[in-house]
Amino acid sequence: MSQTIATPPTVRLDSDVVGRPISRPDGPAKVSGSATYAAEFNVPDLWYGYVVSSPIAKGKITKIDTAPVLALPGVKQIFSHENVPTLAWFDRAYKDDVAPGGSPFRPLHDAEILFSQQPVALIIAETFELARYAASILRVEYEVAEHNTDLEKSRGEAFDAPKGKTGFLPPPKPKGDADKAYAEAPHKIQGEYTHHAQHHNPMEMFATTVEWLGDGKKLKIYDKTQGAPNVQQYIAKIFGLSKEEARVISKFTGGGFGSGLRPQHQVFLAVLASLELEHSVRVSLTRSQMFSLGHRPHTIQDIKVSADDQGYLQSLEHNAFAETSQFEDETETVVNWSGILYKTPNSKFDYKLAKLDVDTPADMRAPGAATGSFAIESAIDELSYEAKVDPLQFRLLNYTYEDPTENKPFSSKRLIDCYHEGAARFGWDQRSPEPRSMRDGNMLVGWGMASGCWDASMQKAAAKATLKADGTLTVNSATNDQGAGTYVIMTQMAAQTLGLPMEKVQFNLGDTEYPTAPLQGGSWTANSVGAAVKNACQEVGKKLLKLAQKMDNSPLDGLDFENVQFVNGLIRANEDISKSVAIKDVLQASGEDKIEADGKAGPNPINLQKYSMHSHNASFVEVKVDEDLGTIHVTRVVNAVAAGRIMNPKTARSQVLGGTVWGISMALMEEAYLDNVQGRYMNHNYAEYHIPVNADIHKIDVIFVEEEDDIASPIGVKGVGEIGMLGVAAAVANAVYHATGKRVRELPLTIDKLL
């Protein structure tokens, strides 16, 4: 076995700001309310749209009685399948960047109803209140057809997930004879692990404000999204617009978690109405309607795993069965993580889908991995008890330094350090191994742990840097910030690259007039856009050096770019820092009013072929369970993360805190109740779709294990958005077993499952 050792961190210079816990420059705007979101732009003479949703899950519209509504003073139009013009959209060729296989849903295309809460009409009125009232009295008649929304009853209709969807990896190829090894092993467990649909619930609901500019078809589109360029491409193709005619802006996003990766139907409806009426229009969705925009799919997993008397794995079988819609084949990478985390001589994996009468599921924080890690980490915990080996020791015994699924070395892997540092901080060595053996008064105390693994991937990204004669630097990229801290870490990267103080740097994002950037998702923004920002600033630096060398008696004459450093507003020689020139003096001497440069970045195809690249974490959880009532309290969590170079420990910690809270939420609370008779989610609101409040969350300790990986990305970053959530739900369930002796394999872990 061999372990790839990451390049050690470079020596910190006085002007280094990357790696420091610097506050967000956008923070004051957010807390003061001056940050403007998609539904808050004050566009003159604005009309408002309200979406009418289907009450049935399957069937077709037979009649829409529009006359009484159109007679209301101030109602401008009702759009439905009866009057929507023919669009490029309807040839089924145009998809967004993250669309799965199949045909994307096309709002108001025809009379067919494909899922409950499907938009069936859009009412445009002079005020939001009037549009909402008009929607309440619009009469739509339906012919109801028999529907199926029950995954459990659809096992006989399972089919292999289609290959080819971006981001989906087919299950690993089998190794050895898993069935024989399982049958012969002295210690074995088999279990079915389930969670039902879970819904994104960002604070900001989806909305689009379209400003009609009155110049041909020119529009300015303010949209709630995780990627303005993706929305622009989607809108431009559907409506036959140029990029100049469809400018998309998204400066602030009030949470997305994957729900904003795909353009949602309100942006299509708002643009449609604006173009048809030649007027500015805003369409906002309600909280209830947010439950019709994709979800983490209901998934059933079956795991068979075995070990020898020493605790070494002998076999691993991991199968998953998930839902998709009737019109798209939504796929997730669910079972692969088991094979990446653990070495075993015998393994086999499978992943299947069933088509239901629901809207297409969607990527939701750590898609696939959050589902898969709950199952495998619960199963590994069960097997450790069966083999009478401490759960942490069991994982250490089966640790792998290479990716068994691809037979590649990891670009870096510090999971073993996550185990050791997390266990030491948590006090794992004080754990009493027997279930129900630890108490605090009437509370049963349980300690559990679990692991996580997520891809460290890069995407193509671009940025533009402009250094002005007054010494200020502006960097633009069309990337997004849904709350992860993009504004601050890109400002840090730009400031450090050119050795400027933070207050002299401004980073702008979320506008399709800026250089293109990928969707904010997959934990790839920091490394992808960060590398592009660095490259753009370095190109400015190269131009600066050339100008500095033209100055009279330049102390930098003859030096290559690699032989100088940009520190504290100076360009100085590496070998003799007394040889320096102030950046502001270079600009003044040159007579240039500004220096501009573009930068691009993308994945290294050679590294992709040679290495397996992932971030890792280990979660340690303490729960206290009331012995009489069965109520569960997560009282303490330690989450140790190895995610490459941490650009800003403050914002990165916030990401891991948020992921940890979501893992607790997934374990104990989140579940959409699907009434299969109605084919509808019944708890589509904040009152009944339970998520944590302050009283549910106690001490969370975040550890960043030192790791820098120049193979995974040229700036050593892997990303933290996804990894902080992984393993947490399983660690909670494992802690509950340790506390109570009751193993629960279905999430959420509610009181009734302990009684």
Residues marked active site are found at 722
Q: Rg (Cα) of the chain, in Å, rounded?
A: 27
Show the tokens assigned to 256: 């997305």
Cross-strand pairs, 462:
600
Contact 292, 306 (CB under 8 A): no
Contact 725, 365 (CB under 8 A): yes
541 CB contacts (<8 Å, ≥6 apart)?
Answer: 497, 498, 561, 566, 571
| DSSP annotation of 616 | E
Distance CA 30, CA 39 (A): 15
- One-letter amino acid for residue 118 of the chain: Q
Bond before 748 cis per omega within 30 degrees: yes
**Maximum distance among all alpha carbons in the chain?**
86
| Start-to-end Cα distance in the chain | 47
H/E stretch holding 307 reads strand 299-307
Distance CA 320, CA 327 (A): 21
How many helices (DSSP H) and strands (DSSP E) are in the chain?
16, 34
List C-alpha distances in Å: 539 to 70, 494, 535, 599: 58, 12, 6, 7
Strands annotated E in 74-174? 75-79, 101-102, 112-113, 119-125, 139-144, 159-160
Return phi, psi of residue 725, to 5°: -85, -25
User: Minimal CA–CA distance to 749: which of 448, 451, 453, 322?
Assistant: 448
Contact 551, 581 (CB under 8 A): yes
Show the tokens assigned to 681: 């989610």
Distance CA 298, CA 152 (A): 10
399 CB contacts (<8 Å, ≥6 apart)?
Answer: 343, 415, 416
* Residues in the chain, overall count: 755
Grouping H, G, I as helix, E, B as strand and the rest as coil, residue 754 is coil
User: Minimal CA–CA distance to 669: which of 226, 201, 252, 276?
Assistant: 201
DSSP state string for 394-450: HHHHT--SEETTTTEEBS---HHHHHHHHHHHHTGGG---STT--EETTEEEEEEEE
| DSSP annotation of 485 | -
Neighbours of 532 (CB within 10 A): 30
List C-alpha distances in Å: 692 to 45, 200, 661: 40, 13, 7
Neighbours of 113 (CB within 10 A): 23
Distance CA 505, CA 446 (A): 49
Distance CA 567, CA 583 (A): 10
Contact 323, 153 (CB under 8 A): no
Show the tokens assigned to 494: 């730009």
Show the tokens assigned to 267: 């942006």
User: Minimal CA–CA distance to 748: which of 688, 674, 672?
Assistant: 672
> Chain centroid to CA 620: how far?
23
> Chain centroid to CA 578: how far?
46
> Chain centroid to CA 721: how far?
6
